[in-house]
Chain A
Amino acid sequence: MAFREINSKMVEATVLPGQRLFSQRGAMLAYKGDVSFTPNLQGGQGGLMSMIGRRVTGEATPLMTVEGSGTVFFGHGGHHVHVINLTGDTLYVEADRLLAFEGTLRQGTMFMGSQGGVMGLVRGQVTGQGLFTTTLQGQGSVAVMAHGGVFEIPITPQRPVHVDPQAYVAHHGDVRNKLSAALGWREMVGRGSGEAFQLELSGNGTVFVQASEEKL
């Protein structure tokens, strides 16, 4: 495992020669050993097309490449940090929640509208998360940030999970997501329960939820 949780808000990463890490720019807190940090103009990896893709989609959180040999401590803005280990599947996460991830993972962007059709588009607008999300695929670990602690809910075909769009952090696995609206006339006249929109996740996988409805 590349990331070790030091406490709820800090992770430690071991960097070995020939193995790269990517992290959000400015997220390094301290390091030991011989480690270099280079700003990553492409905002990750995947070549030119991927870079243009990210620029256009607004999923272009500035990243840096971390190389060398030593130990690096990451943390950012006092947010809670949660480590997710991927074993070949794809993680869907907003770019601004990515603290650091291993170089073995392939980075990409996904158009949210491609899942859930029109509601996918609405989802981006309603949640303020935009229409695109970042994907990371392969074998390796990822450190994500959240406001408050993160907990996991398993998604099984029999039990779809509904998440408050503001509390949603990330998900992985073979999962379909769609925005479900509980809009009745009560919501329209401002007498709703405050739970008008929910993200419905179904299939097989895991969803990560933060203990707060505040954005980062």
Chain B
Amino acid sequence: MFRLQGSKVLAVDMTGDAVKAKNGSMVAYDGQMNFKKLTGGGEGLRGMVTRRLTGEQMTVMEVKGHGTCWFADRASEINLVGLQGDKLYVESSNLLATDAGLRTGTTFTGLRGASQGNGLFTTTVEGHGQAAIMSDGPAVALRVSPQYPLIVDPGAYIAHQGNVRQSFQSGVTFRTFFGEGGGEAFQIRFEGDGLVYVQPSERNTIAGDL
């Protein structure tokens, strides 16, 4: 029921079912729709407290109704991700909408988050259904397999799914500190089996300056 209208607009056809979407991201709808803000991402009190603590405070609304609802956010490119029981890790700022049946939560990302300037926690989406994630420019989904690990610039990383381990690697040498660095001082290394979504743009990170 999620479909893309062009690359920057998400159209959701609903017949009495619901979606969770970023607050205020509706641009138009026809038919009959209801908008309700979800407290703390819709997992009750515990979810709310976690969100407050972790700073992954995404304000989410539940849209329910009959008809078509269109979502967009600051002309970002939108990518559809299908989930079959696996887990999607995504920065809350890059998450536009999910099927209401998907569970959302937060996890600790460790150093990677700090290097991206996104904080130490990231949002997880789990279950069966579809999610729409946003990127600056069209994103590509790169496969990670046990034989082929993938190394990604922290500023270009937007999301990943599957059974993937991530570690942080640094190419900082004495040259970096003398201002002769390659500009690629930090990377995230993904190993295992899954997909990593990468955008053709680099958001500003602490690591990017080194």
Contacts and interface: CB of A to CB of B under 8 A. Distances in A.
Contacts of A194: 23-25, 35, 37, 59, 61
Interface string A25-49: 0000000000000000000000000
B48 interface: no
Interface string B2-40: 000111110000000000000111111111010111010
Given A182-B35, A186-B37, A191-B37, A151 B74 contact: no
A210 B27 contact: yes
Interface residues on B, range: 20 to 34
Given A153-B70, A191-B37, A161 B29 contact: yes
Contacts of A159: 30-31, 67
A163 B31 CA distance: 12
B208 to A, nearest CB: 23
Contacts of A75: none
Interface in A176-216: 182, 186, 191-195, 207, 209-214
B191 interface: no
B136 interface: no
Contacts of A213: 24-25, 27, 72-74
Contacts of B75: 80, 147-149, 210-212, 214
B26 to A, nearest CB: 5
B36 A193 contact: yes
Given A186-B37, A193-B36, A149 B9 contact: yes
Contact of A212 (B5, B59, B73): B73
Question: Which label, helix, strand, loop or mixed, suits the secondary structure of the A interface?
Answer: loop
A130 interface: no
Interface of B: 5-9, 23-31, 33, 35-37, 39, 59, 61, 67, 70, 72-75
A70 interface: no
A167 B27 CA distance: 6
Contact of B30 (A80, A149, A162): A162
A62 B25 CA distance: 32
A164 interface: yes
Contacts of B36: 193
Given A159-B31, A159-B67, A193 B6 contact: no
